[in-house]
Amino acid sequence: AQKITQTQPGMFVQEKEAVTLDCTYDTSDQSYGLFWYKQPSSGEMIFHIYQGSYDEQNATEGRYSLNFQKARKSANLVISASQLGDSAMYFCAMNNNNDMRFGAGTRLTVKP
């Protein structure tokens, strides 16, 4: 079964600095999708960024980028110029054959 691992339970970053949230995955399939979701303290789940396994370029969405290293099976989220509003739980997820699995999450705190 596919597995998603996020090894950082919590991360701190200074406002305006960059931060990387780690995510590794395990699958034997060649076709899959990788996602990052944000969950603020209010509890809703918000889709942020997607990377397909066949995409050659890293996905970017504004200040968010996904550092995709297929051979290492990693899909790290990079947030540049952190803002106070970036403080939240972040979940890495992988979708394969209608089965979306999530990691345990990383709580990011942005310090002023």
Partner 1 sequence: NAGVTQTPKFQVLKTGQSMTLQCAQDMNHEYMSWYRQDPGMGLRLIHYSVGAGITDQGEVPNGYNVSRSTTEDFPLRLLSAAPSQTSVYFCASSYGPANYGYTFGSGTRLTVV
Residue that is written with structure tokens 């209608």 in the block:
98
- Closer residue to partner 1 in complex, CB, 68/91: 91
Question: Rounded to an integer, what distance in angstroms lies between the CA atom of residue 66 and that of residue 103?
Answer: 16
- Closer residue to partner 1 in complex, CB, 15/99: 99
Number of residues that bind partner 1 (CB under 8 A): 28
- Closer residue to partner 1 in complex, CB, 12/47: 47
At 107 the three-state DSSP class reads strand
At 84 the three-state DSSP class reads helix
How close are the terminal C-alpha atoms of the chain, in Å?
Answer: 41
Single out the residue of 17, 62, 97, 111 in contact with partner 1 (rule: CB under 8 A): 97
Does position 40 interact with partner 1 (CB under 8 A)? The reply is: no
Does position 57 interact with partner 1 (CB under 8 A)? The reply is: no
Could you tell me if 90 and 74 are in contact, meaning their C-beta atoms sit under 8 angstroms apart?
Answer: no
Query: Where along the sequence are the contacts to partner 1 (CB under 8 A)?
Result: 1, 4, 6, 9, 31, 33, 35, 37, 43-48, 50, 52, 91, 93, 95, 97-105
